Structure 1
Amino acid sequence: MSKAPASASKSATESAVHHGVDHSQELGHGNSPAAWTCVIVMLVGALVCSIAFVIANTPIFIAGAAVMVVGLILGYVMRKAGYGVEGSKLKSTGH
């Protein structure tokens, strides 16, 4: 237990870095065509998997899981192609 009083304040850099992680940098929200495409395709795959699970159809379930993997790969490929956050194909609008 620390012997420092509770009112002792830390410097700005000490409070921003916690357990070796710098929390002063903004992470962003991932708003990019690559991220949205990845999420939407994976949601469709999850929907297919869910329906297949309810109707007990294994081939359709596997197809839904494959769609989710395709969504993950598609998001990665689009990010590498410049459609990710701060990608070369996106024009910056200042938002």
Structure 2
Amino acid sequence: MNIRMILPALLLALSALAVRADDPDPARLDALIPIGQAVDLVAARYQGRMIAAEIVEEEDRPFYEFRWLTPQGNVLRVRLDGETGGFVLVDGVGQTEARVLP
């Protein structure tokens, strides 16, 4: 994974964490998988590259949400569980074409 691809996501993730500094349970943020690992999980499943990343929280659970640019020029929204790395949502046109086959 190229550092130029990970650095923007890392900066976005860190800024999101800074906004959440009032979180009463900072140990939960320590449970997040590293953002580089999350990007690698998406890259293993979909061709393309990350163009945006953020950490969102729903129902007291953290998620990574990525915008993923496919080789066909489509943008997918990919959401991973921030603690397990499991895929929660993939939305957008061109999912089938961008899918990396096993």
Q: TM-score, normalised by structure 2?
A: 0.25
Please state which structure has a larger fraction of its residues in helix: 1
Larger relative contact order (CA 8 Å, sep ≥ 6) = 1
Q: TM-score, normalised by structure 1?
A: 0.27
Please state which structure has a larger fraction of its residues in strand: 2
